[in-house]
Amino acid sequence: MSWFESFVLGLVQGLTEFLPISSSAHLRLTAAFAGWHDPGAAFTAITQIGTETAVLIYFRKDIARILSAWFRSLTDRAMRSDHDAQMGWLVIVGSIPIGVLGLTLKDQIEGPFRDLRLIATTLIGMGIVLGIADRLAARDETGGRHRVVKERKTLKDLGVRDGLVYGFCQAMALIPGVSRSGATISGGLLMGYTRESAARYSFLLAIPAVLASGAYELKDVGEGHVSWGPTIFATLVAFFVGYAVIAWFMKFITTKSFMPFVIYRILLGILIFALIWSGALSPHAGDSAG
């Protein structure tokens, strides 16, 4: 991998990680469209450490408060009813599905799941799900003809059942094209949470999964065409770009609809299918990189 490739891929990772359009799919597609080797699951997981570091900094006050309350709840029974302490436990509970499925499906994640036809399918399918969830949220928030505004849930209403549902939604993102934020935000909206609450828990829930996945994949750096230098460079680029994007996205979702992302996902999925059917793009483009 050249330094230019690592810069472009780091830029793509930072731009797409927090948007509900799937960063892993866009890394795969960028390489395929440019005629580069598939950067692979290991490169993707490690560069996500960069964007997740942006989450740690952006939500540093929330994270510090949750960690403090959670650690105190280990020895102080009274603290176990504290909302922040409960959030710590709920992040752990919600991380179980992706941890188990990530290890179980490791070979599929690094192989068959990177087929561009599957990515196109998940882009379209999850785009439709996100669109439905967004419309339901908008209907509750604005009411409508013969309807009254319906109050939606916040993170104070989050319990173990909803935490696990969020966790299984996050685990769906093991398939490129689903999108970690897209799946968890969709799940949150369908369960009746506000846009801001769904996004905030989505980002907090991703921290253990992304950091653990990135650390696990460190051993594979240097194998094939991906080396340490370009990987670290791409991770740094992803961090700086990702921090700017997460700040913008958290402001965007408080007043705007997810429909632009829904339309983009569906059009991109259709484009990929059209290119594959026309023979202009191989569904396994770049796979020879290994």
pLDDT at 7: 95
**What is the torsional sign of CA 178, 180, 186, 187?**
positive
Q: Name beta bridge partners: 144.
A: 147
Phi, psi of 137 (to 5 degrees): -65, -45
Query: pTM of the predicted model, to two decimals?
Result: 0.86
What CA–CA distances, in Å, run from 89 to 94, 159, 160?
Answer: 9, 10, 9
Q: What is the largest CA-CA distance in the chain?
A: 64
Mean pLDDT of the chain: 88
CA–CA dist 272, 279 (Å, integer): 11
Q: pLDDT per residue over 114-146, tens digit each?
A: 889 999 999 999 999 999 999 988 887 776 565
CA–CA dist 176, 120 (Å, integer): 9
CA–CA dist 122, 272 (Å, integer): 12
pLDDT at 288: 43
Report CA dihedral (232, 237, 238, 242) to the nearest 10 degrees. 150
For residues 119 and 177, the answer to whether their CB atoms sit within 8 Å is yes
pLDDT at 152: 87
Q: In sequence order, what are the residues at sequence separation of 6 or more whose Cβ sits closer than 8 angstroms to the Cβ of residue 290?
A: 40, 224, 225
DSSP-derived secondary structure letter, 58: H
CA–CA dist 253, 21 (Å, integer): 14
Residue 77 CB neighbours (<10 A)? 8
What's at 7, amino acid-wise?
F
211: left (phi over 0), alpha (psi -120 to 50) or beta: alpha
Q: Name beta bridge partners: 147.
A: 144
pLDDT at 289: 41
First-to-last alpha carbon distance for the chain, in angstroms, is 12
pLDDT at 192: 92
For residues 54 and 248, the answer to whether their CB atoms sit within 8 Å is no
Q: Mean pLDDT in runs of 10 for the chain (290 residues)?
A: 92 93 91 86 86 93 94 89 92 92 84 89 95 89 67 90 94 91 93 91 90 80 71 94 92 85 96 94 68
pLDDT at 145: 62
